Amino acid sequence: MKFITVDTYAELSRKAANIIAAQIISKPYCLLGLATGSTPIGTYDNLTKMYEEGDLDFSTVTSVNLDEYIGLDGSNDQSYRWFMNHHLFDRVNIDKAKTFVPGGTVADLAAEGAAYDARIKELGGIDLQLLGIGLDGHIGFNEPDTFFTGETHVVDLHPSTIEANARFFNDISEVPTKAITMGMAAIMQAKKVLLVANGPKKKEIVEKAFFGPITPEVPASILQLHPDLTIIFSEQE
Ligand code: GLP
């Protein structure tokens, strides 16, 4: 595990973008695992800038996102599909047909999960997985539980997650209570994992996850078993 502490969010975002750019440059036909949440926004801004300046080409990149809210389709501006289009896909030359986000409005969510995992396998597995971390230690939407789940599955969001994500909605009652998320198998099988955590409010959970016991009660702690894990933590928000 490589634990990098930086002072500012700007530095976190630059460093994370440089690692992702290095991945794309060294393997142009790569599969990137991408994340939502407020933390990766600066990383996506830096990647966009590299593209605009002609230093990065996304035309051969394929991506798979971690998760999606149940009940929101891509035209809803709170959906994670919309988030990805807005913060990255519409700003660079990635082929949208090669960007995948689990479907939150499909009738058969179990089949959707199985198909998502099969697709990742078919694509040869994830080369680099970007992750944020929730205040309760969730990655993707893998919430604290008594066991780790391997496959892409539907979860009930924890009250603390609903509360934390309510800031993006008009009212807490609008926050979906369920999500579909990639499970631990695809994340742990990624060749490299890069986790970004921003500011003092994430300090305690980062310490628990990476310097405490490995337990499904702190889902991110499973990453301690990953052979190529980089964490970038910024002291200031
Ligand atoms: C959501 C996402 C996670 C993300 C988390 C933290 O719950 N599903 O993937 O890591 O938010 O978000 P933030 O970076 O805004 O703290």
pLDDT given at position 228: 98
pLDDT in tens, 181-197: 999 999 999 999 999 99
Residue 39's pLDDT is 98
Residues 6+ apart with CB under 8 A from 15: 4, 6, 232
User: What are the strands of the beta sheet with 178-181, ordered from one edge?
Assistant: 67-69, 178-181, 153-156
pLDDT-derived band at 200, boundaries 50, 70, 90: very high
Could you read off the pLDDT of 138-159 as tens digits, one per residue? 999 999 999 999 999 999 999 9
- For the chain, the average pLDDT equals 97
- For the CA of 40, the closest atom of ligand 1 is 14
Q: Which pLDDT belongs to residue 76?
A: 95
CA 221–ligand 1 middle distance (angstroms): 16
What confidence score (pLDDT) does residue 57 get?
98
3-state secondary structure 77-132: CCCHHHHHHHHCHHHCCCCHHHEECCCCCCCCHHHHHHHHHHHHHHCCCCCEEEEC
Residue nearest atom 9 of ligand 1, based on CA coordinates: 140
Neighbours of 89 (CB within 10 A): 21
